[in-house]
């Protein structure tokens, strides 16, 4: 296996990487096939529209977000989630400060490179 996190990770000890204005990501557990990230958003932060070859599930831990997947936009709040198929254009606007848990398959190698920078 090329990639693997430690077996136990304390969120308070994981590096926070600035993704964009008002957005910070922590890479949590992962291996080659799966990755969990926690992303903190300040109100008004924008996860700009993009696409990637990974399957993604975004779970709203807290806050409120307007998610766009393809041509459809929905407001999601704590307890809601979105499934983003591979290569689908998607983005989110943070309406109320909160946290997303993003699960990717396979691992986001680019996120691991961000930690090394």
pTM of the prediction? 0.91
pLDDT at 115: 63
- pLDDT at residue 23 in the model: 97
Tokens 């994981």 — which residue? 14
Instruction: Give residue 110's pLDDT.
Output: 87
Residue pLDDT, tens place only, 81-92: 999 999 999 999
The list of the chain residues with pLDDT below 70 reads 114-117
Residue owning tokens 């041509």: 71
DSSP string, 12-62: GGSPPEEEETTEEEEEEEEBSS-EEEEEEE-TT-EEEEE--SSEEEEEEEE
If you classify domain 16-116 with CATH, what class do you get? mainly beta
pLDDT (tens digit per residue) in 94-115: 999 999 999 999 999 989 986 6
């Amino acid at each position: 296996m090329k990639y693997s996190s430690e077996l136990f990770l304390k969120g308070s000890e994981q590096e926070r990487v600035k993704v964009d204005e008002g957005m910070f990501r922590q890479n949590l557990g992962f291996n080659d096939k799966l990755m969990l990230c926690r992303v903190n958003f300040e109100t008004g932060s924008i996860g700009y529209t993009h696409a990637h070859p990974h399957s993604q599930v975004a779970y709203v831990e807290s806050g409120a977000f307007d998610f766009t997947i393809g041509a459809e936009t929905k407001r999601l709040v704590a307890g809601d989630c979105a499934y983003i198929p591979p290569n689908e254009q998607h983005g989110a606007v943070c309406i109320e400060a909160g946290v997303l848990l993003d699960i990717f398959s396979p691992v986001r190698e680019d996120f691991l490179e961000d930690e090394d920078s």
